[in-house]
Structure 1
Amino acid sequence: MSRSQHLVLIGGGHSHAIALKEWQKNPITKVKLTLITNVLQTPYSGMLPGYIAGFYRFEETHIDLKKLTQLTQTKLVLTTAIALDLIKNQVICADCAPIRFDILSIDIGSTPTLLNIVGSEYVIPAKPVPQLLEVWENLLKCVHQNPEKPISISIVGGGAGGVELALNMRSRLQTILPSHLITFHLFHRGQKLLEHHNSWVSEKLEKILREREIQVHLGETVQSIQADELDFYKINCQSNLSIKTNYIFWVTQASAPDWIKHSDLSTDSSGFILIKNTLQTLSHQHIFATGDIATMPDYPRPKAGVFAVRQGKPLVENWRNFLLNKPLKPYFPQKTYLNLIGTGDKKAIASWGNWGCQSRYCWQWKDYLDRQFMEQFT
């Protein structure tokens, strides 16, 4: 490598956090690193439901990107990327000058798809997480201030994320309010919850939801949302089912931000960046992408944090290989992976292929693994 190179990272997701830690162990001279992020604290998705339930403190569940970039001698630019100029190799930012790169790596996660729902402005998307947590903290404050006022919460999306959010939110609220003041609804367009999991896991979680007095509406597609009266919204489904509620959290299939779709990178029909098994984009070999924002067409997998975590070390290895003109190594995502789904009571359900079980030991296992992951950043 004859001249200095500039490696620019967009987003402080799981892959990038791990890659920066690994880079620090064996940095390459003449390579300058810059991280572009719009947050200083990035949440670890595995511990987010537990934080919502009140089991963890904020600092236990978030990676301090300022501390991480200082440790790894990475320049931190606190702004939002809004476009790419791939002719000039520049990242266009919301409130600073364009940032030029020699190599680019993108790890910005995804956001729930609203599918042009009428009244989508009344919805609280599960991502970006900082906005979700801001709403949740304000909700808790209102509940504390009005301990005799009923509250109704609706969650749209019956995957693992929606189910886990419902159970952990209910758990937290029950420490503040009596049960008869709390109403929960969960809407899912399919006839089966957690469609990517086996039948035992799906049926077990549906049973737990109903036992916790969370009303489950299967086969329901939300068509529109309207402001009804003070503090209430009405959810209207295609089946003519209508439900009044105070808060609507949207935890459905993911999508990519528009600027990625318009960037000239190769993307799929949902706007996700198409990548090779070397984690390089299909269209530009000097651009890498990982986490939810990336899709490997040869290895289709659900959007799950486990893959972002596993991509961290192969990513930094291939940054080095690319910079040193060495052959890049392939990464093969696992076909079957362990899911540990917290049920809001310091128990968890383990899901692995066709196998599943529920116990307090599963929660302790999950808690141990999550804390081990976070320890590397403290």
Structure 2
Amino acid sequence: MASSAKTNRKHLLLVGGGHAHVLVLEAFARDPEPGLAITLVSRNRLTPYSGMLPGHLTGAYTRDEIHIDLERLARAAGARLVLDEAIGFDSALRRARLKGGEALAYDILSVDIGITPDLSGIAGADEHALAVKPIGSLLEKWDRLAEKALAPDGPRRFAIVGGGAAGICLAFAVRAFFTKRVSDSIEVSLIAASEASGINAGMRRRIARALKRRGIALRAEDAALRIDRDGVMLASGQFVPADAVLVSTHAAPPPVLAATDWAKDESGFLAVGPTLQILNDAAVFAVGDCATMIAHPRPKAGVFAVRQGPVLARNLRRAVRGEALESYIPQRDHLLLIATGDGRAIGGRGRFLAFEGRLAWRLKDAIDRRFMRRFG
């Protein structure tokens, strides 16, 4: 065990500042665990809440309003915050090696480090496109893109590759941002290779109508093959002219996981069971986009990380105490709300429920603001 013989305190190491770990810190701030030392490793002091990203891009929220201050949260939980990133793990010695040179021992480890963009399936994407994740990197690049676009001779044609909920939200957000700020004609195209999973037929019809109403060209059932400085070549042979391309499609596990001996799924994401422990190492938990629940796989979406958070917090506490852990089975469906950038939103759940309007936007805004108030 990595516990100090002098203090006999156990050490919980949280690697990554994702949504689930934010909720873990909140839980330990509310109810401290005697005899437990907690360390959080995060590259950044501020972590963005993905649910409010489209609203921020449209100007509905400030940068501060969509970020959680990990330093303040760690302080409230009595945790140490290390601004660094893990570059290696030794499961035999129970140590995490950091980029800055420090090696951190742990008794219990939890990994919540998200995903990395995988643009390898689209020729030219690495050079000519902007990946939507990680969000922190996107925000930095978005600021530069927006500055260029607002110039008199700036880019006026935008293409979003990816027809999932994230890509759809982004298309509406881009349209709203530039429509409010640029008098010249703005062209926005949404390229969707297939129908989005988790979006029922009623929502899809409403989304299609809203895209048309907002002047967004939908290229449905057509995949992006190549991206160059002039636009996107599609599988159909059509070419979509674009001055800027944003990609919200494929994702890959962070490279640091590849060298570990932890169980993984066929795509290289950490394989976890219903207790959120890695299948072959009971001392290690993994949550969020970097992990796959093998018995209950779900899309890589922030809503599932948020729901894992309270269960993870309880199981980490139980693991520290040597108690039996609880199982978590994620819901098959969840409330999905897509803001259309005009003070409205489209919502739905399951196979049949679908609705839209200004009340839907107010509902989404209320849910997101209530979540963020927990950490303010």
Q: State the TM-score, normalizing by the size of structure 2.
A: 0.94
d(CA) in 2 for partners of 1:149, 1:4: 57
Q: CA deviation at 1:62?
A: 0.6
Q: CA deviation at 1:187?
A: 1.1
Q: CA deviation at 1:25?
A: 2.1
Counterpart of 1:319 in structure 2: which amino acid? L
Q: How does 1:278-357 map to 2 (within 5 A)?
A: 278-353=275-350, 354-357=352-355
> Match of 1:216, SS?
strand
Counterpart of 1:92 in structure 2: which amino acid? R
What do residues 287-330 of structure 1 show as CA deviations (whole Å, max 9, x unaligned)?
01111111111112222211111111111111111111111111
How many residue pairs are counted as aligned between the two chains? 369
Q: Are 1:363 and 2:361 an aligned pair?
A: yes
Q: Are 1:187 and 2:184 an aligned pair?
A: no
Q: Aligned-pair RMSD on alpha carbons?
A: 1.6
Which residue does 2:157 correspond to in 1?
152
d(CA) in 1 for partners of 2:284, 2:245: 37
Counterpart of 2:367 in structure 1: which amino acid? L
Counterpart of 1:234 in structure 2: which amino acid? G
Q: How does 1:92-103 map to 2 (within 5 A)?
A: 92-103=97-108
> Match of 1:99, SS?
strand
Q: Are 1:12 and 2:17 an aligned pair?
A: yes
What do residues 40-61 of structure 1 show as CA deviations (whole Å, max 9, x unaligned)?
1111111111001100111111
Which residue does 2:69 correspond to in 1?
64
d(CA) in 2 for partners of 1:37, 1:176: 35
What do residues 14-41 of structure 1 show as CA deviations (whole Å, max 9, x unaligned)?
1100111101222222211111111111
> Match of 2:329, SS?
coil
Q: Are 1:105 and 2:110 an aligned pair?
A: yes
Which residue does 1:239 correspond to in 2?
236
Q: Are 1:131 and 2:106 an aligned pair?
A: no
Cα distance 1:200–1:92, how it changes in 2: closer, same or farther (>3 A)? same
Cα distance 1:42–1:292, how it changes in 2: closer, same or farther (>3 A)? same
User: In the alignment, is the contact (CA less than 8 A) between 1:111 and 1:255 conserved in 2?
Assistant: yes
Q: Specify which of 85, 105, 127 is matched with residue 90 of structure 2.
A: 85
Counterpart of 1:220 in structure 2: which amino acid? D
User: Structure 1 vs Structure 2: percent identity of aligned residues?
Assistant: 36
> Match of 2:337, SS?
strand
Q: CA deviation at 1:153?
A: 1.0
d(CA) in 2 for partners of 1:309, 1:195: 19
Counterpart of 1:160 in structure 2: which amino acid? A
Which residue does 1:207 correspond to in 2?
209
Which residue does 2:42 correspond to in 1?
37
Q: CA deviation at 1:111?
A: 3.0
Counterpart of 2:287 in structure 1: which amino acid? T
* Structure 2, unpaired ranges of 5+: none
Which residue does 2:57 correspond to in 1?
52
Counterpart of 1:316 in structure 2: which amino acid? A
Q: Specify which of 222, 225, 234 is matched with residue 223 of structure 1.
A: 225
Q: Specify which of 250, 257, 266 is matched with residue 247 of structure 2.
A: 250
Q: CA deviation at 1:101?
A: 1.3
Q: CA deviation at 1:148?
A: 5.5
**Mean Cα deviation higher: 320-329 or 103-112:** 103-112
Q: State the TM-score, normalizing by the size of structure 1.
A: 0.93
Moved runs in structure 1, 4+ residues, more than 4 A? none
Cα distance 1:88–1:150, how it changes in 2: closer, same or farther (>3 A)? closer
Q: CA deviation at 1:142?
A: 2.0
